[in-house]
Structure 1
Amino acid sequence: MKPRTKLLALVFAFLLALPAAADTAAHPSLWHVKGPRGEAWLFGSVHVLPPGIDWRGPVIKDALSKADVFVFEVSQDPAAMARVRQLVAEKGYLPQGVSLRDLLHPGMQPKFDAAVAEAGLPPEQVNRERPWLAGLQMLLAQMGQHQFGTGDGVDPVLMEEARTTGRKMRYLETVDQQFALLAPDDPALELDEFEAGLSDLADTEAMVQPLLEAWEHGDQDRLAKIVAEDMADFPAAKKALFDDRNARWVPKIEAMLKQKHRFFITVGAGHLAGPSGVPALLRKAGYQVDGP
């Protein structure tokens, strides 16, 4: 899909909860920062992963064993998921009698039909949805066909570990805050971005694989380059999805570092890469951050 839609899917895929070689060993990056009383590890997550990727190297295992508080972008508890369903119902559908296909330019309608069929989704369902929701569901369906699954992502695995081991969990954002980023306020822009991405939907694996490979190898330079290039035509979207959120998270992390806890903070990998990433912002604020 168009860069905004692709990155939205990677950022928010686990909210919607709708191929790699087996037992692949990944070596994603990990950062460590100490504060006046506490300390934190920063770990970049891929929210959707193919099965069989072992990302728990010795350093990550050691950090997880020491942490007493796990921090995530947003909760996935039953109350949060109920709110997700409510927001999708409120913000995800077109007015009664309006069809998404009919909103498209005539030349895009055959591509839309092909993309819906390729995704294996019921046309009557997709036609009722706003472009942002239809685009995400079509992309996630395609990723599922390539064995990428939300249940295999880092976040749900670590959340379950926190539950089973009695660790406390904290969150940097609310469901409502994340949903505010999903649906553009401009309906024309929303439709344009959806149409622009239809041609790319068939190549979902090739689109996502570079991000996954950069994460697996802990290649922060490549990851930052991919994000920058993908968002080059959408500076406002990059600012809203990454830069502004990173800047809001840093004071929250600083507050944690003043508490006598060891935090394991898991956020999307794109939030930790490049000069506007969280590690760079913490260094700019005067903290010594160990890591790439």
Structure 2
Amino acid sequence: MFFNIVIISSYFLKFKKMKKAILCLASLLMLVTTGYSQSVWKVEKGGKVMYLGGTIHMLREQDFPLPDVYDKTLEKSDVIAFEADLDKAKTPDFAQMVMAKCQYSDGRTLRSVLEEDTYTALEAKVESYKLPMEHLTRMKPSMVMIMMMAMEMKKVGIGSKGVDAVYHEKAKDRKLPIKYLETMEEQMDLISKMGEGDEDEFVKYSLEDMKNMSGDLVTMLDEWKAGKPEYFTEKVKEMKSDYPEIYKDLLTDRNNKWLPQLENMMQDEPAEFVLVGVMHMYGNDGLIHQLERKGYKVSQLK
């Protein structure tokens, strides 16, 4: 659960306009379609086929079972692809790398990078979760906030494995070849730079937003269960308008990096099923429109 949050939240902290960062971040985490045939697309060109599946990385228990369209697509696929290797996140070596990158190693501490009143507010919030503040003093503020956000999500039952984890296990059980679009190390390199230079502002506004976070998350999930593509399209537009730097770093740059890999997949015979966060699908810079502009036929599965 912890690392899934870290992956999706990368680069939210480098943007200075962060008053609603936590709520916007939560919306990205929660974008799941639970009714939702529109979350799987068929890509065709020259007799070759690939499938794109929009996912959410964390769900509630009541969000299972997942819709049949995912299983049916898996049955038609020869290869499955994910953003990154989920199994690596479970290894001791990876845990050590996370801790090394997400802690200060130059003598800085939470107290030294935050204003006194912000530090006091953070300390109170940390202690409300029964977390020992003395164990977190060398951690970067972004990591502390992510940990607390995970605990807020847990309060409303969010934290169960998501679509990616379910189908990662199914692919291994069926001995399907698995591909990855990026590495965990690449994602950690992004995460390790989160919030640099804006630590105090990020913590201050995030603490304020967390006051109503649990209720907001439940409302969001209930609304998104309808799975209307118009909602996702509008969210992408809002993100591009309100958070252009985040939009570029989190979506556009990664989509542009993934696109050549998807095109390479379309050159071979096996049918790949590519599962990535649903926000990567929508908007002018989304994978669907980019593939269409390159001459691929993209259609939603019903």
Work out whether the TM-score is over 0.5.
yes
Q: 1:110 to 1:185 in 2, by over 3 A?
A: closer
- Partner of 1:171 in structure 2? 180
- Partner of 1:57 in structure 2? 67
Q: 1:92 to 1:237 in 2, by over 3 A?
A: same
Q: In the TM superposition, what are the counterparts of 1:21-170 in structure 2 within 5 Å? A: 26-27=35-36, 29-36=39-46, 38-54=48-64, 56-78=66-88, 81-95=91-105, 98-149=108-159, 151-170=160-179
> Which range moves more in the overlay, 29-38 or 159-168?
29-38
- Partner of 1:285 in structure 2? 294
Is 1:202 the counterpart of 2:208? The answer is no
What amino acid does structure 2 have at the position aligned with 1:36?
Answer: G
**Whole-angstrom CA distance in 2 between matches of 1:84 and 1:210:** 34
Contact 1:9–1:140 (Cα < 8 Å) also in 2: no
**1:31 shift after superposition:** 1.0
Is 1:241 the counterpart of 2:242? The answer is no
Q: 1:67 to 1:260 in 2, by over 3 A?
A: same
> Which range moves more in the overlay, 158-167 or 195-204?
195-204
**Whole-angstrom CA distance in 2 between matches of 1:289 and 1:173:** 23
Stretches of structure 1 that go unaligned for 5 or more consecutive residues are 14-23
What amino acid does structure 2 have at the position aligned with 1:141?
Answer: M
Contact 2:114–2:199 (Cα < 8 Å) also in 1: no
**Whole-angstrom CA distance in 1 between matches of 2:170 and 2:24:** 26
**1:219 shift after superposition:** 2.1
Contact 1:37–1:259 (Cα < 8 Å) also in 2: no
Contact 1:4–1:237 (Cα < 8 Å) also in 2: no
Q: 1:236 to 1:166 in 2, by over 3 A?
A: same
Stretches of structure 2 that go unaligned for 5 or more consecutive residues are 1-11, 13-17
What amino acid does structure 2 have at the position aligned with 1:249?
Answer: W
**1:241 shift after superposition:** 0.7
TM (norm. structure 2) is 0.81
* SS in structure 2 of the partner of residue 265 of structure 1: strand
* SS in structure 2 of the partner of residue 240 of structure 1: helix
Contact 1:250–1:278 (Cα < 8 Å) also in 2: yes
Q: 1:31 to 1:190 in 2, by over 3 A?
A: farther
- Taking only the aligned residue pairs, the percentage that are identical comes to 27
**Count of equivalent residues:** 281
- Partner of 1:271 in structure 2? 280
**1:120 shift after superposition:** 3.7
Q: 1:225 to 1:255 in 2, by over 3 A?
A: same
Q: 1:274 to 1:212 in 2, by over 3 A?
A: farther
Q: 1:119 to 1:48 in 2, by over 3 A?
A: farther
Cα-Cα RMSD: 3.0
**Whole-angstrom CA distance in 2 between matches of 1:115 and 1:37:** 56
**Whole-angstrom CA distance in 1 between matches of 2:98 and 2:240:** 25
Q: 1:125 to 1:224 in 2, by over 3 A?
A: farther
**Whole-angstrom CA distance in 1 between matches of 2:142 and 2:47:** 43
Contact 1:31–1:41 (Cα < 8 Å) also in 2: yes
- Give deviations 1:146-190, integer Å, cap 9, x for gaps: 2111x4211111111011111111100011211122133762124
